[in-house]
Amino acid sequence: MALRTGLYYPYVHLRDESWAKAAALYWRNLARVVPDGFPVRDREVVRELNQGSGFLVDTDPRQAAEAVAPKFVAAVRDNAEALRDRFAVRGRALAEAAPRLAPTTRSLTGLYPQEVPGELQHAWEESGLATLDWSRNHRGAWVAVDPALAWAYKCAITHELARWTAFTPVTDQVDAHSATGDWTSERIADVLLDRAAPAVGHETAEARVAMMAVRCVLPADLGHVPVEKIIRLRTQYADEFVAFAAAVDAAAADVMEVAGEVTDRAAFELHLQAAFDLHVAQPLEALRKAIHGLKMETVSTAFTIKPEATVSGAGLGMLFGGTATAVGAGIAFTALATRQAAARERDSLVASSPAGYLLRVEKELKPATVLRRAGRVVARTAGVGV
């Protein structure tokens, strides 16, 4: 089933707290590539998400690295001079430069030694593409390389892990969306030497539809939303999430059926948007209209109840003060029954719609004043709020 486990790349640590919160609303779990012994230092928000819902799954890349390494060795062997001209490490120091697509003359970035097999490390060092750096406090030397080379290597490992695990690659880095596809030695060289056209991104269709869906209902200040609310949504509305995941799955399947062979990125984006509109945006708008119509119908009914239609509640009123009280109690009794019926119909609409989960997210996370929060409680009790 869709949306079970995403595979975050190309980093270990999630860089954007708002992105992490959004991802937690559409992935059951988020795996990430963590070499054995790597010093994980997550931000507080990420730690809270993980502790509250078991969100993160650390995945050791050793076997994937061993499968990918020979392809990089071959790429270096066949293109050593050209790669050295762009990515030579001589005279460059190791810093915290993040992996990225474009080559750079800035500082080097470090790969953890446990994720670089010996044969690849040797090939890089021999070609002047890597050096060992012992300046950091850990049990071995970091393999210092150009950030662009590290970027390609991380993406290739992720692709291999995704193939083995059936996890879906997902990232908060725009450039990395084009890093999918089969990483052969020829493609590795073409990407590093700017000989390859950007990939269309077929493999990211599912993840992107899901993120588009969640983003369309999130508040602009998601960074200020308490983690507790995110965790509650993950656990409290599991049934609605299942319907939402099925809609995302259907949208991704539509995209791949229609545009699986499309090589033009702009055309692929149009197909992706069309599938999103059909399976997510339109059902969400239809559900909003249905809920709004239900609210208006309930309010209208409450204002048009006739006293003679309230016999079922009149007996209650007679116990507390006569005819007027009896009629009033009857009206209240009937109105309450109407609101309760509306609440049941509303819950049924939300539960059966593929957009029900998104509506829950929108209502739960939308900023509200104290008065608006109180109003929502009253409306919910009355059967006219989500």
Please state the φ and ψ torsions of residue 371, each to the nearest 5 degrees.
Answer: -65, -40
**235 in the same domain as 161:** yes
**238 in the same domain as 202:** yes
Asked if residue 356 belongs to a domain, the reply is yes
Tell me the residue length of the chain. Answer: 386
**159 in the same domain as 142:** no
**58 in the same domain as 171:** yes
**243 in the same domain as 192:** yes
Of 150, 176, 202, the last residue of a domain is: 150
Asked if residue 89 belongs to a domain, the reply is yes
HSE (side-chain half, CA atoms, 13 Å) at 208: 24
Asked if residue 14 belongs to a domain, the reply is yes
Asked if residue 170 belongs to a domain, the reply is yes
pLDDT at residue 61 in the model: 96
pLDDT at residue 178 in the model: 53
Q: Report how far apart, in Å, the C-alpha atoms of 149 and of each of 48, 89, 131, 191 are.
A: 33, 11, 13, 10
**94 in the same domain as 143:** yes
**364 in the same domain as 316:** yes
What's the total number of domains in the chain?
Answer: 3
**235 in the same domain as 342:** no
**b/e 303-334 (16+ beta carbons within 10 angstroms → b):** eebeeeebeebbeebeeeeeeeebbbbbbbbb
Dihedral sign (CA 224, 228, 232, 234) = positive
Domain region containing 311 = 287-382
pLDDT at residue 275 in the model: 92
Contact between residue 169 and residue 178 where contact means Cβ atoms under 8 Å apart: no
Q: How far apart are CA 192 and CA 75, in angstroms?
A: 10
Residue whose C-alpha is closest to residue 284's, from 223, 230, 209, 229: 209
Of 243, 259, 275, the last residue of a domain is: 259
Q: At what angle do helices 238-259 and 323-352 cross, to 10 degrees?
A: 40
Enumerate the β-bridge partners of residue 131. 144
Of 214, 244, 259, the last residue of a domain is: 259
Contact between residue 367 and residue 376 where contact means Cβ atoms under 8 Å apart: no
**164 in the same domain as 142:** no
Tens of pLDDT, residue by residue, the chain (386 residues): 456 899 999 899 998 999 999 999 989 899 999 999 998 999 999 999 999 788 999 999 999 999 999 999 999 999 999 999 999 999 888 876 666 655 565 788 899 999 999 999 999 999 999 999 876 555 567 999 999 999 999 999 999 999 999 998 888 876 654 556 789 999 999 999 988 777 777 777 888 888 888 888 888 888 889 999 999 998 888 888 888 888 888 998 999 899 888 888 889 999 999 999 999 999 989 888 887 776 555 444 444 444 444 444 444 444 445 555 544 444 444 444 555 555 666 667 777 788 889 888 988 887 543 333 334 433 433 333 44
Asked if residue 274 belongs to a domain, the reply is no
**163 in the same domain as 188:** yes
pLDDT at residue 350 in the model: 75
Q: In the chain, what is the straight-line distance between the N-terminal and C-terminal CA atoms, in Å? A: 27
Asked if residue 113 belongs to a domain, the reply is yes
**175 in the same domain as 205:** yes
Asked if residue 181 belongs to a domain, the reply is yes
Contact between residue 191 and residue 197 where contact means Cβ atoms under 8 Å apart: no
pLDDT at residue 81 in the model: 97
pLDDT at residue 201 in the model: 76
**161 in the same domain as 50:** yes
* pTM attached to this predicted model: 0.77
Q: Report how far apart, in Å, the C-alpha atoms of 284 and of each of 88, 173, 205, 384 are.
A: 52, 27, 19, 18
Asked if residue 93 belongs to a domain, the reply is yes
Contacts of 309 by beta carbon, 8 Å cutoff, 6+ apart:
334
